[in-house]
Amino acid sequence: MQRAELVFVYGSEEEAAMVAELLELDNRLAQGKLRVTTRAEGVEVVSRVEHPELHTLFATVHDLLFCERLISDMLEV
């Protein structure tokens, strides 16, 4: 199993909670062997990704980075 962890840091716990909630909504679309979880930990948002194939893991990490950037831009955090 291949694993990755992404940590995003925000200015407040409220901002982190909003971003984590929105990222977790996208995570619910994960299918098959792909496991993605996101949660707020204080001012940090931690996303964990697991999949047996490295290329799927990389594609998912790329998607998470894109979604986080989009959410941050929309919320102006």
Per-residue pLDDT, averaged over 4-12, amounts to 97
For residue 15, what pLDDT is reported? 96
Nearest of 36, 38, 46 to residue 8 by alpha carbon: 46
pTM: 0.90
Q: What domains does the chain contain, in order, with CATH numbers?
A: 2-75 (3.30.310.50)
Q: How many CB atoms lie within 10 A of CB 61?
A: 16
Each residue's pLDDT tens digit, 21-67: 999 987 787 778 999 999 999 999 999 999 999 999 999 999 999 99
Structure tokens belonging to residue 56: 């799927």
Bigger pLDDT: 73 or 28?
A: 73
Q: What region does 38 belong to: left with phi over 0, alpha with psi -120 to 50, or beta?
A: beta
Q: How many CB atoms lie within 10 A of CB 19?
A: 21
For residue 73, what pLDDT is reported? 93
At residue 76 the predicted structure's pLDDT band, cuts being 50, 70 and 90, is confident
